[in-house]
Amino acid sequence: MPSAANPRTTAAAPTPTGGARGPAAFSAGISRPWLFAGLAALFLGLVAALLFSGAAAAREVSDPGALVRWGLPASKTVHNIALATVIGGLLFAVAILPRSLAGSRSKAKDAPEHPAFTRTLIVAGIAGVVWTLSAVAVLVLSYSDIAGQGISGDPEFTRSLVYFMTDIETGRAWLAVVVIAAVVTTALFGVPSLGGLAATLVLALIGLVPTALIGHSASAADHEGAINSLGLHLVGVSAWVGGIIMLALLSGVLGAAASGSQNSGRPDITEPTLRRFSALAGFAFILVFASGVINSSIRLTSWNDLFGSTYGQLILAKAAATLVLGGVGLMHRRWVIPQLGSRGGGLSARRVLWQLIVVEMLVMGATSGVAVALGRSAPPQGGSLAPDASPAFIISGYDLPPELTPERWLTEWRPDWLWVAVAVFGLVAYILGLLKVFRRGDSWSWFRTVNWVIGLGVLTYVTSGPPAVYGRVLFSAHMVDHMALTMVAPIFLVLGAPVTLALRALTPRRDSSRGPREWLLIFIHSKFSQLVTHPLFAAANFAGSIVLFYYSDAFGYAMRDHVGHELMNLHFALTGYIFVLTMIGTDPLPRRAPYPMRLLLLLATMGFHAFFGVAIMGGTGLLAADYFGNLGRTWGPSALLDQQMGGAVAWGIGEVPTLLVAIGVAVQWSRSDARESKRTDRAADRNNDADLNAYNDMFAKLAERDARLAERNSKLEGRS
């Protein structure tokens, strides 16, 4: 009999689908032989790609041995699949599957856990263990591969391995992956709440960052563009591959339970599960294909590199497989999902569903193997540092741009693909929300839409345009970039009211799962949101973080390091957005400050920005001197004079947007008073001025009482 204390230990028993054969097997789910076939396709694709590219061939100098040459790509393959399974399992747990067998969240507290949810966390936990162990194997084998020596128990090997983990970038990256994998695995076995699992999912996604920072992308000509595109590629691949793996492993427990079984009466969740994953997979396909094209265009500079090299040919094979997978996903959306709910075609549609997923699994397995072999192959264009590299290239990774002129404030671009993806996603999601609202017959302000589009345009301009390009070599341009990112773009984005649109467009979930709308509401009402959106905290963060950033080592780290630069952009964009949201936003917040307090906070921040700008203008010490002082710039003002100009920019640009926000607060205050007056007038019309009459009656009674008291006092005085 199952234990009520720990349902995950009993409810995840696999359904007996392993012994079925023929088409009928696919009606109940995917049998185990097909799962092993997907694993076989994975390693066959890896071996074929390694042999084709020659990446596993013995080296003439410093050959680490066959164990390392073949063991390293095999370990990376296991690592990638395990990581994708962890991410896919967490995505299914927090956003796709119902947690309980209850039909709604209100009844989910006392209902038993759904077998699909239980199996998902068990699979993710096992995959987490494999992820951790494979990351350790990759760490050790990577050192042996780089050092050109086989694995041994010699103390010198151990000392060198420790040095590799602590002082070499590749070693530190894989050590970070090991630590993250261990923490995520521990959380998978110990965190019971959906909120904790969502935080674990975020940490697992962070585990993709170290692998994006090393390898070919880090040495590409446009290394930041290559790193960002690879990072986006890894996110899409992990969600897509991990989701397909979870669908295959859950195929036996998604359908309705047979009569008389332990979970008799369990509803069939195949259709909603596939529909929700299909939306995620569509987004992942676009992300994978677009980021793959961008990353390949950075590494391959000619058509000959694409068609005439083994590296380019492997990329073509991978792209073709991705298009095939996209076509299979389109078949799911256009034919299989609509047929799952029909009475006549449900059984055949279910059989085709699992057959298509088997095809996806086989193709994805072979493609994942090719991807690992691709990472072991050298691209046609080497990424080594040229002997005559300029100081700017050595420090920042890019040569100096041409001298800044008014025209070049429009023409010099270097796409930051991370923020381009954010802007594109924000635009597409907003348009889809508009279409859904309009189809329902509701209206939406064109003013909000225009502001949202302008805000995304400003965000793209300051992260990928001339302010970003020249902000790496000129402090004044960097300050233009910073002020626009934290004070200009947020005004338009806040006026676009994206959260309000999302809450109107997103459909609430009817089962015990949490969709985007539910997670959005949970975040809005969370303790964290209450803290960061508190007007006093938002104002202090908005003003104080500038001083803490520029007068600490964080500024130099953000200028030298790619991760630091992206974290700087993220911090100041969110800081500005939250501050403006608390001042003039219409999206829901846990609390809002009274209008007089808002104006007071705005005046305080204006004064603080003026003080900061004047301090920079009068400063005689160069901020981030080891960076701006060593770029070798031969045009424009000196580094110190340019920094003082940046102080003037901070003072001038910082005041105008704040003044506009203050005007917006004043307008909203006036409109609020007008709305209150209209509300009072409507209430008076409804009750025939009952409130006013009661108010007048109160004063009349007071006057009457005063008259009686005066008369009594006069009589007492007459008697005396």
pLDDT at residue 11, rounded to an integer? 40
pLDDT at residue 389, rounded to an integer? 75
Neighbours of 535 (CB within 10 A): 19
Per-residue pLDDT, averaged over 456-481, amounts to 94
Task: Grade residue 538 by pLDDT with cuts at 50, 70 and 90.
Answer: very high
Residue 204 DSSP SS3: helix
Per-residue pLDDT, averaged over 375-379, amounts to 75
- pLDDT over threshold 80, residue 456: yes
- Residue listed under structure tokens 């990928």: 464
Contact (CB, 8 A) for 273 and 114: no
Query: Mean pLDDT in the chain?
Result: 83
Residues facing 100 on adjacent strands:
113
pLDDT at residue 16, rounded to an integer? 40
Amino acid at 142: S
pLDDT at residue 262, rounded to an integer? 55
Per-residue pLDDT, averaged over 275-289, amounts to 91
CA dist., res. 704 & res. 385, Å (int): 96
Task: Grade residue 75 by pLDDT with cuts at 50, 70 and 90.
Answer: very high
- pLDDT over threshold 80, residue 683: no
pLDDT at residue 426, rounded to an integer? 95
pLDDT at residue 355, rounded to an integer? 77
- pLDDT over threshold 60, residue 160: yes
Cα separation values, 66 from 59, 137, 138, 370, 582, Å: 10, 15, 15, 19, 61
Contact (CB, 8 A) for 445 and 516: no
Per-residue pLDDT, averaged over 388-398, amounts to 81
Per-residue pLDDT, averaged over 461-467, amounts to 94
- Say which DSSP state 207 is in: T
pLDDT at residue 15, rounded to an integer? 41
Contact (CB, 8 A) for 520 and 499: yes
Per-residue pLDDT, averaged over 526-553, amounts to 91
**Sign of the dihedral through C-alpha 324, 327, 333, 338:** negative
Percent of the chain with pLDDT over 90: 38
Most confident residue range from 66-70, 305-309, 520-524, 709-713: 520-524
- pLDDT over threshold 60, residue 206: yes
CA dist., res. 576 & res. 531, Å (int): 15
Three-state SS annotation for 574-606: HHHHHHHHHHHCCCCCCCCCCHHHHHHHHHHHH
Per-residue pLDDT, averaged over 648-655, amounts to 82
Contact (CB, 8 A) for 464 and 419: yes
Cα separation values, 568 from 222, 373, 532, Å: 20, 34, 17
The distance of Cα 308 from the centroid of its chain, to the nearest Å, equals 36
CA dist., res. 714 & res. 308, Å (int): 116
Most confident residue range from 15-24, 91-100, 265-274: 91-100
pLDDT at residue 1, rounded to an integer? 36
Give the residue, 410 or 380, on which the prediction is more confident.
410
- pLDDT over threshold 70, residue 23: no
CA dist., res. 85 & res. 249, Å (int): 10
Per-residue pLDDT, averaged over 641-665, amounts to 86
- Residue listed under structure tokens 């381009």: 420
Per-residue pLDDT, averaged over 42-60, amounts to 82
pLDDT at residue 110, rounded to an integer? 66
Cα separation values, 399 from 41, 225, 298, 391, 491, Å: 44, 15, 16, 8, 34
Contact (CB, 8 A) for 299 and 381: yes
CA dist., res. 609 & res. 579, Å (int): 14
pLDDT at residue 241, rounded to an integer? 92
pLDDT digits (tens, 9 = 90+) for 103-130: 666 565 667 888 889 999 999 999 999 9
- pLDDT over threshold 60, residue 682: no
pLDDT at residue 537, rounded to an integer? 93
pLDDT at residue 37, rounded to an integer? 83
pLDDT at residue 211, rounded to an integer? 87
CA dist., res. 3 & res. 300, Å (int): 58
Most confident residue range from 307-321, 444-458, 694-708: 444-458
pLDDT at residue 25, rounded to an integer? 46
pLDDT digits (tens, 9 = 90+) for 234-263: 999 999 999 999 988 888 888 765 544 555
Q: How many residues does the chain have?
A: 720
- pLDDT over threshold 80, residue 294: yes
pLDDT at residue 13, rounded to an integer? 40
Q: Got the DSSP string for 7-30?
A: GGGTTTPPPS-TT--SHHHHHH--
- pLDDT over threshold 70, residue 679: no
Give Cβ neighbours of residue 97 (< 8 Å, ≥ 6 apart): 114, 116, 117, 120, 269, 273, 513
pLDDT digits (tens, 9 = 90+) for 543-560: 888 889 999 899 999 998
- pLDDT over threshold 60, residue 20: no
pLDDT at residue 149, rounded to an integer? 84
Three-state SS annotation for 115-156: HHHHHHHHHHHHHHHHHHHHHHHHHHHHHHHHHCCCCCCCHH
Task: Grade residue 505 by pLDDT with cuts at 50, 70 and 90.
Answer: very high
pLDDT at residue 151, rounded to an integer? 85
Q: Got the DSSP string for 277-328?
A: HHHHHHHHHHHHHHHHHHHHHHH--SHHHHHHSHHHHHHHHHHHHHHHHHHH
- Of 682, 616, 348, nearest to 482 by C-alpha is 616
pLDDT at residue 689, rounded to an integer? 57
Of the candidate ranges 52-61, 250-259, 393-402, the one whose mean pLDDT is the lowest: 250-259
CA dist., res. 658 & res. 652, Å (int): 11
* Helix segments in 397-488, DSSP class H: 408-411, 417-439, 446-464, 466-470, 475-483
pLDDT digits (tens, 9 = 90+) for 85-105: 999 999 999 999 988 877 666
Contact (CB, 8 A) for 131 and 86: yes
Per-residue pLDDT, averaged over 324-336, amounts to 80
pLDDT at residue 123, rounded to an integer? 94
Percent of the chain with pLDDT over 70: 85
Give Cβ neighbours of residue 449 (< 8 Å, ≥ 6 apart): 430, 434, 496
pTM value?
0.86
Give the residue, 670 or 172, on which the prediction is more confident.
172
